[in-house]
Structure 1
Amino acid sequence: MDFTAIDFETANSSRSSACALGIVEVKAGKIWAEHHWLIDPQAHFDGMNIAVHGITPSMVRGKPTFSELWHSIEPLLKGQIVVAHNASFDMSVLRYCLDGASLSYPDFQYLCTYLLGKKMLQNLSSHKLNVISDHFGIKLKHHDALDDARASAAILLKLMELEEHSDPLQLSSIHGYNSGKMYVGGYSPFTRTVKKSRKKPAPRSSRLSI
Structure 2
Amino acid sequence: MTDWTSRDVAVVDLEGNGQQPPDLVELAVVPITAGVIGKPVTWLVRPQTPITGFARRIHGITNEMVADAPVFADIEKDVRTALEGVAIVAHNAPVDLGVLHRKLPGWEPVEAFDTLRLARRLRPDRVSYRLGALVEAFDLAEGLPPELRPHRAAYDALVAARLFALLATSPQGRPLTLAELRGQLSGDGDAPPAALF
Gaps (5+ residues) in structure 2?
190-197
Tell me how many residue pairs correspond in the alignment.
176
**Cα displacement string for residues 26-78 of structure 1 (whole angstroms, at most 9, x for unaligned residues):** 11211223201100112121110000000011100121111111110111112
Match of 1:30 in 2: 36
Structure ranking higher in strand proportion: 1
- Match of 1:138, SS? coil
| Separation of aligned partners in 1, 2:177 and 2:89 | 9
1:120 aligned onto 2:122: yes
Match of 2:150 in 1: 142
Query: Structure 1 pair 151/171, CA: closer, same or farther in 2 (3 Å)?
Result: farther
% identity of equivalent residues: 26
Match of 2:180 in 1: 171
**Contact 1:15/1:92, CA 8 A, preserved across alignment:** no
Gaps (5+ residues) in structure 1?
179-191, 195-210
Match of 1:199 in 2: none
* Counterpart amino acid of residue 65 in structure 1: V
Match of 2:194 in 1: none
Query: Structure 1 pair 75/48, CA: closer, same or farther in 2 (3 Å)?
Result: same
TM-score when scaled to structure 2?
0.82
1:161 aligned onto 2:169: yes
| Separation of aligned partners in 2, 1:168 and 1:70 | 32
**Cα displacement string for residues 87-132 of structure 1 (whole angstroms, at most 9, x for unaligned residues):** 011011112223xxxx331442111000100111111111110111
Match for residue 111 of structure 2 among 109, 112, 122:
109
Matches within 5 A, 1:48-197: 48-98=54-104, 103-139=105-141, 141-162=149-170, 164-166=173-175, 169-175=178-184, 177-178=185-186, 192=187
- RMSD of Structure 2 on Structure 1 (CA): 1.9
Matches within 5 A, 1:12-31: 12-31=18-37
Match of 2:192 in 1: none
TM-score when scaled to structure 1?
0.77
**Contact 2:101/2:107, CA 8 A, preserved across alignment:** yes
Runs of 4+ in 1 over 6 A off after TM superposition: none
| Separation of aligned partners in 2, 1:171 and 1:18 | 33
* Counterpart amino acid of residue 46 in structure 1: T
* Counterpart amino acid of residue 89 in structure 1: V
| Separation of aligned partners in 1, 2:103 and 2:29 | 16
